[in-house]
């Protein structure tokens, strides 16, 4: 499913206009720009990522293939310091997946339209080569009584959350779900054209306190693997597309067709604010975001009869406006009394969503979407262990041990009676509890990083993601990893287990510049 994008010239014009206005206002306030020599740095990396399914990944229609991906990619990251307070960063990413060349004629489907959709998804044909592009304007040299001001304008990622393996407060950028459990969220967040301003209060007013404001004029939805033909497609999309293909008349819109995009007007902007404050070894944030859901919801409606919809039936696919209110904290306990344990970090995130949207049972009036308020939280504890306890405590190695509990609530609702599901068609409970354990070891003079993320939920889901990253030289990095799923097919993780999605992958990176 291809997300519609605002033409680049509109975005660039908006960014340039905002930047010029910002510079004019700053200069008018009495701050001058010093012009030193340009300072430019460029880093270029080439690589390959190959993934294979141990059990032969299967799509909704039962076809399978051993090879998941065979990607060739090129990354470029450049930064130029124009003035004392102004710099520009550009990140380019281009890659293509030759998986069909590797596996021969097995395209997981005999449907030409489906093959085209799947091929585009694997080739990442509609990924922006321009991954990120922004100006940084840093007025960090202001007098103490004025505080500090930082602005970033352009295509970027804004990260608010810190949970291991899952997103709670990390809600600003939409997500690329073509492989939903990709190891690095930085690689699968979809950067947005935004205005991002952070103001640090003067120390005499309040120390270590800042306010961040963001604004996003352009809508961008999550990106998903094409239904039916991709093993990474969610079952809910598969079943919807399968029904649309077999009912004998056209259902509008077909998931291969168009997507809805709100008009680029001021009232359709997404906006957020975050207050941050640190008091000695305790930090907290208060977060608010008002914007569109990243996933458009299909709402059945009656329409006038036409040749394309002879029964007067279509699905209005559109996103919804939501309010999200949350916060986070972390506390570094330098020493826990009695236990004689030092430097343990306790952290947490909380998020409440007003009028969150779910799918559910179709009512007599054809309504199948339900708005419910939701509440979610995660609590975590982190501890670094140096050396290998009881074996070699003085060795050059350290291990991060991190545990989490996550709970999702739908208060005042009966999800089983209403048939509420998430986009993956996983059945929802009024309360869902999940546990994670994350282990990360750094050794061999920090050249080898080994880690594993374990996930379990009370729905009977299990997920394991081990990987090891080794710096072969200053320019070459090798990575070996995998992901393994266990669970009932009605659950989000379990549906991938049902499709045989036990995967191992290897990745090689070579830094050219």
Q: CA–CA separation, 401 vs 414, rounded Å?
A: 37
Q: Given its phi and psi angles, is residue 447 left (phi above 0), alpha (psi -120 to 50 degrees) or beta?
A: alpha
Q: CA–CA separation, 325 vs 60, rounded Å?
A: 37
Instruction: Please give the model's pTM, rounded to 2 decimal places.
Output: 0.83
Q: Is the pLDDT of residue 243 over 90?
A: no
- Domains of the chain, residue spans: 8-511
CB distance 290 to 270 below 8 Å? yes
Give the pLDDT score at 8: 41
Give the pLDDT score at 126: 46
Q: What is the mean pLDDT of residues 72-86?
A: 88
Q: What is the mean pLDDT of residues 81-109?
A: 74
Mean pLDDT taken over the chain = 79
Q: Is the pLDDT of residue 492 over 80?
A: no
Closest among 88, 53, 50, 102 to 72, alpha carbons compared: 50
Tell me the DSSP string of 127-188. Answer: S-SEEEEEEEEEETTS-GGG-EEEEEEEEE-------SSS-SS--SS-BEETSTT-S-HHHH
Q: What is the mean pLDDT of residues 92-99?
A: 78
Q: What is the mean pLDDT of residues 319-332?
A: 92
Give the pLDDT score at 5: 33
Q: What is the mean pLDDT of residues 242-269?
A: 65
Confidence of residue 275 (pLDDT cuts 50, 70, 90): very high
pLDDT digit string (tens) for 17-70? 555 455 545 555 555 555 455 688 899 999 999 998 888 888 887 888 788 888
Give the pLDDT score at 408: 92
Q: Is the pLDDT of residue 133 over 90?
A: yes
Give the pLDDT score at 27: 52
pLDDT digit string (tens) for 421-457? 776 667 788 899 999 999 999 988 889 999 999 999 9
Task: Assign domain 8-511 to its CATH superfamily.
Answer: Porin (2.40.160.10)
pLDDT digit string (tens) for 305-315? 566 655 555 66
Confidence of residue 118 (pLDDT cuts 50, 70, 90): low
Q: CA–CA separation, 177 vs 168, rounded Å?
A: 16
- Which of 86-90, 221-225, 267-271, 501-505 comes out lowest in average pLDDT? 221-225
Confidence of residue 392 (pLDDT cuts 50, 70, 90): low
Give the pLDDT score at 472: 94
Number of neighbouring beta carbons within 10 Å of residue 72: 14
Closest among 355, 234, 233, 198 to 292, alpha carbons compared: 355
Confidence of residue 82 (pLDDT cuts 50, 70, 90): confident
Q: Is the pLDDT of residue 201 over 80?
A: yes
């Amino acid at each position: 499913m291809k997300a519609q994008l605002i033409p680049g010239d509109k975005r660039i014009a908006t960014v340039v206009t905002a930047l010029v206005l910002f510079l004019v206002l700053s200069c008018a306030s009495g701050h001058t720009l010093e012009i030193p020599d340009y300072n430019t740095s460029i880093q270029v990396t080439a690589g390959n990522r190959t993934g294979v399914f141990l059990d032969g990944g299967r799509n909704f229609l039962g076809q399978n293939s051993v090879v998941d991906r065979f990607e060739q990619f090129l990354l470029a990251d450049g930064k130029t310091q124009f003035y004392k307070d102004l710099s520009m960063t550009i990140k380019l990413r281009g890659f293509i997946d030759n998986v069909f060349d590797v596996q021969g004629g097995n395209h997981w489907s005999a449907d030409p339209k489906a093959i085209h959709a799947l091929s585009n998804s694997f080739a990442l044909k509609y990924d922006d080569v321009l991954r990120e592009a922004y100006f940084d304007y840093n007025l960090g040299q202001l007098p103490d009584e004025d505080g500090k001001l930082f602005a970033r304008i352009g295509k970027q990622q804004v990260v608010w959350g810190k949970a291991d393996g899952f997103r709670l407060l990390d809600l600003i950028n939409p997500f690329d779900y073509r492989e939903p459990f990709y190891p690095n969220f930085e690689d699968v967040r979809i950067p947005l054209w935004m205005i991002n301003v952070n103001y640090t209060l003067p120390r005499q007013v309040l120390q270590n306190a800042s306010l961040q404001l963001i604004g996003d004029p352009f809508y961008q939805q999550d990106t998903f693997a094409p239904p039916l033909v991709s093993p990474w497609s969610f079952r809910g999309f598969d079943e919807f597309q399968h029904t649309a293909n077999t009912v004998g008349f056209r259902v509008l819109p077909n998931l291969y067709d168009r997507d809805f995009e709100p008009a680029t007007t001021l009232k359709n902007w997404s906006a957020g604010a975050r207050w941050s404050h640190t008091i000695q070894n305790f930090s907290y944030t208060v977060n608010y975001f008002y914007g569109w859901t990243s996933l458009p919801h299909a709402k059945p409606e009656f329409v006038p009869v036409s040749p394309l919809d002879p029964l007067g039936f279509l699905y209005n696919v559109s996103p919804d406006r939501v309010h999200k209110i949350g916060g986070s904290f972390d506390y570094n306990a330098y020493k826990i009394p009695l236990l004689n344990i030092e430097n343990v970090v306790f952290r947490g995130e909380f998020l409440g969503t007003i009028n969150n949207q779910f799918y559910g049972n179709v009512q007599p009036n054809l309504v199948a979407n339900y708005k419910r308020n939701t509440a979610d939280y995660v609590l975590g504890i982190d501890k670094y262990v140096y050396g290998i306890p009881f074996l070699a405590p003085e060795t050059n190695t350290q291990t991060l041990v991190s545990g989490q509990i996550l709970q999702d609530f739908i208060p005042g609702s009966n999800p089983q009676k209403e048939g509420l599901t998430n986009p993956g068609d996983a059945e929802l409970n009024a309360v869902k509890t999940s546990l994670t354990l994350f282990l990360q070891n750094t050794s061999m003079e920090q050249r080898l990083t080994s880690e594993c993320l374990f996930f379990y939920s009370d729905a009977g889901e299990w997920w394991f993601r081990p990987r090891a990253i080794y710096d072969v030289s200053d320019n070459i990095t090798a990575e070996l990893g995998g992901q393994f799923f266990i669970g009932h097919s009605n659950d989000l993780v379990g549906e991938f287990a049902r499709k045989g999605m036990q995967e191992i992958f290897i990745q090689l990176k070579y830094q050219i510049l």
